[in-house]
């Protein structure tokens, strides 16, 4: 809905040159009801020193001989499992403690198994070394992911893992917190087990209880928040204000209990959304809605299928017609509505409008871009609303809370809304802008490049702003806005990176529901991995979801399907491989000069970098046989020059504000650049040139930048012919504009399984280069692949099995030499989710 809102500010934003501050988070709690225990079917703590009753396959299984006995799997070169119990067990809960001891790669796991049919068919809950927990089904050796969540996973840490199976309901817990759930009826009964995949681990205290009720007592008192993403409520559970019993409604369940229908046209959707009674409405594909707003009635779940469903042109109106004479919640107010997993684009009024005392509304895991007015506006007495895990992408007027300054009669004491784990991605204002609401809770969101302001509290509103990550936000939060009077705002434990200090005032009581605040400076990684469409299943768990548009069937490649040992893939595995400083001394540095000295050492070194370091030169030389490894949030403000060197690894570093290149590779060979973040600098992020060879650039993120990755010095440097063999895989080009890569002479160059978002062009092949571009996802890319660029002559380019979303037509020409190394090509349909969850610094455990 359209609203008047003067842009004049009563509190001017302060001028900001460079501010960096980080605050530790205060751990609050999630209150959970206690679980009743059932009969114990099986238990084994291995205190008898043997593994009688267990059947092992693969790996190296034994019972440890120390006082704290456990079942140990000691090998990391294959998958391994050990099974116990009987095939007649149906509904039960299985639990174990597991301590991973080694991962042979970046995407390995340890797991707990349930309803095991055979060594290749079962359900399992996996803790992965890429910091995720996954609930999966294995069928004949083929795995299907049922649900996933972010979770820090490291070696040497003990986790209590539990998997409940009851009928078709599957629930996975880690350390007592429900992190993954799904409905699946493939297996009704079966044994239990533990497993590893290219990992070693100790398993202990295995227990099976009947009835699917777990043996772990659920906490009822506050407990410290674990690092990572404890806030994700799982597949079907509304939290925050939407979970509070009030106004005759107990929590928010949407269309649960009603029929499931699937719509793929505007007329179908409009009819179903306005129908009476509970209903789960599955939206299949992008639907063009005529007119600005369309009514949604009570007891509805509206959910997108897959990652490419939603609405263009129109929005959703959740609420009765406007009536200023109504100043208390009417009996027929719209209530109990869930909106999840939908894309909203180019709406004519608001994307979602909640009005006229609508209550118990959950808006979760959606993505919206630009439209005429608000992304999510909530007003006119509406309450008990949660807005969570959404991605607001470039929206101007994002989230208004409260109609106008004269609407106190309807809004005072209401507008109780929770905003958590949302990604405010280059939004301009109203994130949210609050009038009258109290208590409004804004926690664990990530704000990036907010143009005008983040949160505004006005007209005596009461707003708690805690545990958020503000990056490049001049004005993160303030009192008053435009002609509106001051509200109250309490800010605590936020992470302010290159951002202003914010303004607070007054006091606000805490919201009455239980919740957990994650560490603020972790929210960038957590939220960018979890927010937006494509990250959840189907609420209501329909048993036969409709098929979404299938991705192109991959063309078989002549290369082997499995990667080599470890997680290094690509050209850097050739010419003897790339091991960096392995075998040399390990040193830890925490200032720029010490790092520069270590980089220039003639000896092999593993250099662990901690803290934010100022380098002595714009470009700092790196000699051969070095591993440069960031620890925690290690950040460099200038560049690394790998010149005339060999066997160099650079991993897990953030480069920010460099003055030349972030990484320059010239005249060098066998270089691996992996899991780094490049966040806004002067020239190239990773430039490879002057006859360099055998380079892999993998799992990096480039953001807030233009010139990303140049390959080849200039059109006249013909010495590059026969060199510049580089692999680029699983990189996230996040709004970077060009050179991903821009290639001269190199042949073959391999570009696979990368995610491109918002680029002017993706890959350019020039000057006779040969580039294979396969299995990538291009989204909002004007020219995904280019043959020839600027004044450079064309090269050859083969593109296959890519996905193009709202992007231009790809260009291709000629042939490319075969790729000589083994690699696994992931289906492009899963690349966006995998890369945004795994790319960049902070996603590996150094």
Active site residues: 739
Give the H or E element holding residue 269: helix 266-273
Q: Return the structure tokens found at 13.
A: 């934003």
Task: Give dist(CA 78, CA 119) in Å, integer.
Answer: 14
Q: Return the structure tokens found at 844.
A: 């590996």
Q: Return the structure tokens found at 500.
A: 């202003």
Task: Give dist(CA 627, CA 651) in Å, integer.
Answer: 8
Instruction: Spell out the residues 6+ positions from residue 427 whose beta carbon is closer than 8 angstroms to its own.
Output: 375, 392, 394, 395, 396, 398, 447, 450, 451
Task: Give dist(CA 120, CA 366) in Å, integer.
Answer: 35
Tokens 């570093």: give the residue: 653
Instruction: Spell out the residues 6+ positions from residue 76 whose beta carbon is closer than 8 angstroms to its own.
Output: 102, 103, 104, 108, 196, 198, 199, 200
Task: Give dist(CA 563, CA 631) in Å, integer.
Answer: 26
Inter-residue contact 436 to 414 (CB < 8 Å): yes
Tokens 């996954």: give the residue: 134
Inter-residue contact 711 to 789 (CB < 8 Å): no
Q: Max alpha carbon distance in the chain (Å)?
A: 81
Task: Give dist(CA 96, CA 484) in Å, integer.
Answer: 56
Tell me whether strands 612-613 and 177-183 are parallel, antiparallel or unpaired. Answer: unpaired
Q: What SS3 state is found at 375?
A: coil
Cα dihedral 188, 193, 196, 200 in deg (nearest 10): 170
What string of DSSP letters covers 226-246? Answer: PSS-TT---SS---GGGGS-B
Inter-residue contact 638 to 618 (CB < 8 Å): yes
Inter-residue contact 365 to 390 (CB < 8 Å): yes
Per-residue burial over 445-480, b = 16 or more CB atoms within 10 Å of its CB, e = otherwise: bbbbbbebbbbbbbbbbbbbbbbbbbbbbbbbbbbb
Q: What SS3 state is found at 657?
A: coil
Q: Return the structure tokens found at 400.
A: 């208004």
Using a 10 angstrom Cβ sphere, with 0-12 exposed, 13-18 middle and 19 or more buried, the burial of residue 285 is middle
Inter-residue contact 360 to 338 (CB < 8 Å): no
């Amino acid at each position: 809905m359209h609203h008047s809102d003067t842009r004049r500010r009563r509190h001017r934003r302060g001028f900001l040159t460079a501010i960096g501050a980080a605050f530790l988070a205060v751990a609050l709690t999630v209150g959970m009801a206690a679980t009743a225990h059932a009969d114990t079917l099986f238990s084994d703590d291995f205190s008898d020193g043997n593994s009688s009753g267990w059947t092992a396959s693969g790996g190296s299984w034994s019972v440890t001989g120390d006082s704290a006995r456990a079942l140990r799997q000691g090998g990391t070169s294959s998958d391994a499992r050990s099974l116990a119990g009987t095939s007649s067990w149906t509904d039960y809960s299985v639990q174990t403690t597991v301590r991973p001891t080694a991962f042979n790669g970046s995407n390995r796991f340890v797991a707990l198994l349930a309803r095991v049919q055979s060594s290749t068919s079962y359900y399992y809950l996996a803790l992965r070394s890429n910091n995720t927990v996954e609930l999966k089904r294995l069928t004949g050796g083929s795995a299907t992911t049922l649900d996933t969540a972010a979770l820090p996973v490291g070696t040497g840490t003990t986790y209590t893992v539990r998997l409940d199976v009851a009928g078709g309901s599957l629930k996975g817990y880690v350390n007592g917190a429900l992190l993954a759930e799904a409905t699946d009826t493939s297996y009704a009964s079966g044994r239990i087990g533990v497993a590893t995949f290219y990992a070693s681990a100790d398993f202990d205290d295995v227990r099976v209880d009947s009835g699917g009720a777990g043996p772990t007592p659920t906490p009822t008192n506050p407990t410290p928040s674990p690092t990572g993403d404890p806030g994700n409520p799982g597949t079907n559970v509304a939290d925050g204000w939407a979970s509070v019993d009030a106004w005759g409604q107990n929590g928010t369940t949407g269309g649960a209990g009603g029929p499931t229908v699937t719509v793929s046209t505007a007329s179908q959707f409009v009819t179903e959304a306005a129908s009476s009674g509970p209903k789960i409405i599955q939206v299949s594909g992008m639907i063009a809605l005529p007119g600005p707003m369309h009514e949604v009635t009570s007891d509805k779940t509206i959910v997108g299928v897959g990652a490419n469903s939603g609405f263009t042109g129109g929005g959703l109106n959740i609420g009765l017609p406007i009536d200023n004479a109504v100043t208390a919640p009417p009996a027929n107010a719209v209530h109990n509505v869930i909106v999840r997993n939908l894309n909203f684009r180019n709406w004519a009024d608001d994307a979602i409008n909640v009005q006229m005392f609508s209550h118990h509304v959950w808006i979760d895991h959606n993505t919206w871009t630009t439209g005429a007015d608000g992304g999510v506006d909530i007003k006119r007495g509406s309450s008990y609303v949660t807005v969570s895990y959404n991605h607001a992408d470039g929206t101007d007027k994002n989230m208004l809370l409260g109609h106008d300054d004269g609407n106190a009669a309807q809004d005072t004491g209401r507008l109780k809304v929770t905003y958590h784990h949302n990604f405010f991605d280059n939004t301009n204002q109203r994130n949210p802008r609050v009038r009258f609401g109290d208590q409004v809770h804004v926690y664990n969101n990530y704000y990036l490049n907010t143009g005008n302001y983040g949160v505004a509290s006005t007209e005596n509103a009461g707003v708690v702003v805690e545990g958020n990550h503000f990056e490049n936000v001049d004005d993160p939060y303030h009192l008053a806005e435009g002609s509106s009077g001051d509200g109250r705002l309490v800010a605590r434990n936020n992470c302010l990176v290159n951002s202003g200090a914010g303004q607070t005032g007054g006091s606000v009581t805490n919201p009455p529901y239980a919740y957990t605040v994650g560490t603020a400076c972790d929210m960038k990684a957590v939220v960018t991995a979890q927010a937006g469409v494509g990250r959840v299943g189907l609420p209501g768990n329909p048993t036969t979801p409709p098929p979404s548009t299938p991705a192109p069937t991959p063309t078989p490649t002549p290369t082997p399907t499995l990667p080599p040992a470890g997680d290094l893939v690509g050209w850097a595995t050739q010419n003897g491989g790339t091991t960096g400083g392995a075998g040399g001394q390990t040193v830890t540095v925490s200032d720029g000069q010490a790092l520069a000295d270590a980089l220039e050492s003639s000896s092999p070194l593993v250099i662990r970098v901690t803290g934010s370091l100022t380098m002595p030169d714009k470009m700092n030389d790196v000699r051969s046989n070095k591993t440069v490894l960031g620890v925690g949030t290690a950040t460099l403000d200038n560049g690394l020059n790998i010149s005339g060197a060999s066997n160099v690894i650079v991993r897990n570093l953030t480069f920010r504000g460099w003055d030349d290149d972030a990484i320059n590779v010239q005249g060098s060979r066998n270089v691996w650049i992996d899991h780094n973040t490049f966040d806004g600098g002067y020239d190239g992020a990773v430039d490879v040139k002057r006859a360099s060879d055998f380079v892999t650039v993998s799992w990096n993120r480039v953001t807030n930048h233009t010139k990303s990755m140049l390959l080849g010095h200039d059109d006249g440097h013909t010495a590059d012919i026969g060199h510049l063999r580089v692999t680029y895989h699983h990189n996230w080009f996040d709004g970077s504009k060009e050179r991903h890569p821009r290639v001269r002479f190199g042949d073959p160059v391999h570009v696979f399984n990368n995610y491109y978002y918002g680029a002017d062009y993706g890959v350019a092949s020039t000057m006779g280069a040969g580039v294979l571009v396969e299995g990538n996802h291009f989204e909002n890319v004007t020219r995904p692949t280019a043959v020839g660029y600027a004044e450079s002559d064309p090269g050859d380019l083969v593109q296959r099995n890519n996905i193009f979303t709202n992007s231009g037509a790809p260009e291709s020409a000629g042939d490319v030499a075969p790729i000589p190394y083994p690699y696994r090509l992931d289906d492009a349909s899963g690349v966006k989710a995998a890369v945004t969850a795994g790319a960049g610094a902070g996603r590996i455990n150094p």
